[in-house]
Structure 1
Amino acid sequence: MSAHGETPALLPVFLTDADVESLSDLPSAIAAIRSAYTAVEDEHRNPGRIFADSKREWMRVMPSVPSSGRLFGAKSINGSFADGLQVSYLISLFDKDTAALVALVDGNRITGLRTAATSAVGAETIIPRRPLRVGVIGSGFEAQSHTSALSLVADFALVSVFSPTKTNRDAFAAKFAESLGVPVVPVDSAEAAATGADLILCAARSRDESPTIQAEWVGADATIVSIGSTTPGQRELPADLIARASLVVADGVDEVVHGSGDMIAARAAGIDVDGITVSLNSVLLGNTPVDREHGIRIYKSTGSGLQDIVVAEALVDLARQQGIGTVLPVGIVTARK
């Protein structure tokens, strides 16, 4: 503790949920994620999740000091069961040189943006460089954001989409046929969406935590993007599909291998998940060669504070440029020690 502190030269900015929505920009987010994951891995910079839980209230904190960029910080996810489940998200960003508070960001929409951006960067490392038949399972926010993001790194020839509700998959097909300029066909089963697809996007949460896709639907050389199994209790891919995979690229190997229900179930079935799983970082750095045309290749994500921080920094930069956000009338003291 010090009695002497310095007030910030630049007052911090607060970005509301509406600000984040107006600023959300997939190309900027993808560029930020790609830059972050092409730096050498350092587990001390990204220690994983920290949990506090009273059973009534809970908090998950995801800190990161990225190698890239000018800022560091943490995202906190804060929940209360006092009146059903209510959750809020807050990202705090600090200057690497001065430790001054630079921004507070409503993180409600950041998770979806950074997840889609990271999936695009991950998929780009393992998909064939040719026009692809794409199968989308799901039609909600994650399916839409991921389809948009993947279209920025892949060449789509045809998209098939399945969602349990016909009106939802029809609306998805109409929207993306117009925005992508390729045929987008609603189909009446997940099997129909996956069969014959070069790239399969799994973006529909299982209602009973059973896999949303079956191994026999997947071609011998398909690429799969799996984002829906981020906790030990969630399932998206069956163990026999993971057993067929030649490569699993993970945004964080330890959390994917030990924290995803898919990988936990695969290990319990005797599958050597450690032997086929590599980090996105190692692939981007060229340390792990990838055969883009042969074998089933899977990108699996559980998310990380690194992704939240670098994407939030990109949004803060855009906010400063465009004059968006609320500049706070005060900052916090930075004390010299």
Structure 2
Amino acid sequence: MALFWQSAFLLSLAVAASVHAEMKLDCRPGFVSLVWTESRSRADPSLFRLGGCAPTSTTARSATFNVEFTDCNFRSMVTGSQLLYTSELTYSSDSKGQTLIQPVVCIFNRPKDYFPITYDPVFETSGQSDLIFHMALMNDDFSGPAESTHFALGSFIPIMARVEQNSHQPLLLLMEECVAATTPQLHPDSNLYNIITNKGCLTDSKRSRSRFEPREMSSEIHLSLQAFRFALGEEVFIHCKLVAWDPEGLDATKKACRFVKGHGWKLLDNPAFSNLCDCCDSSCKSRWTRSTHSGHHGMAQNVVLGPLTITEVSINLTD
């Protein structure tokens, strides 16, 4: 039986008479129903948002949402035997300075055959086709999902990112930015470990053996991330900005670079153009001004992978 839970922790609340508010959450396989009601409200129900979605219906004192988990910026995440879907109910009124952020969490028993994709948003791209982004922990040869989310310090964490292009023109998947954190959401005071920075530079490869693996297809990118000394024994989440981009439109801001000891920065997709990585030790900016007429286009989306745990185990490593 599916389980559900609604968080009662208000991160920020300035809506008048909010103590009289009630949130009813009904989590079902594939979709969720949420009703926010206030008995003495000064809020405008039409200004409530669930993720990026407006209410399905409103009354003078309530906002109702009936949506699928593929909508409204819901994030999916596997933790042990559970499958979680998370989003936020928000309210903002610029005229009165009223704000609300209410976490929304649905928890289900993890299906036995569930593939650990942690974020599965669907986006329209100029009416051409849907793009669906995936990111997952894999086994050592990237042939299937990982059997464990625990990794010894110094071992490799195989990470696969993929974009489903459907009938869209071929796109190249890139990891633009990635950081590790101890929370599934990033906050201004979050403790972070930088993995990929500066528009596609695998910064971690300068201090470890982390590397991008050779591509098998343009729509996937494989990262062998060497387990790092960060939050040992704690739950760790990998936050990445994935970009699906025109393969002919690579430049200093759209690339995948790793550092090779003794050789410097190398471009994954065409080492002959590794000069695109020269900015990795400074600041990577495009020399060109893009527009809708440039012929280069794509889609970017933030994704979250985890939790995983890094444990301190003595491993003898050699290059």
TM-score (norm 1): 0.27
Q: Quick check: which one's strand share is greater?
A: 2
Q: Quick check: which one's helix share is greater?
A: 1
TM-score (norm 2): 0.28
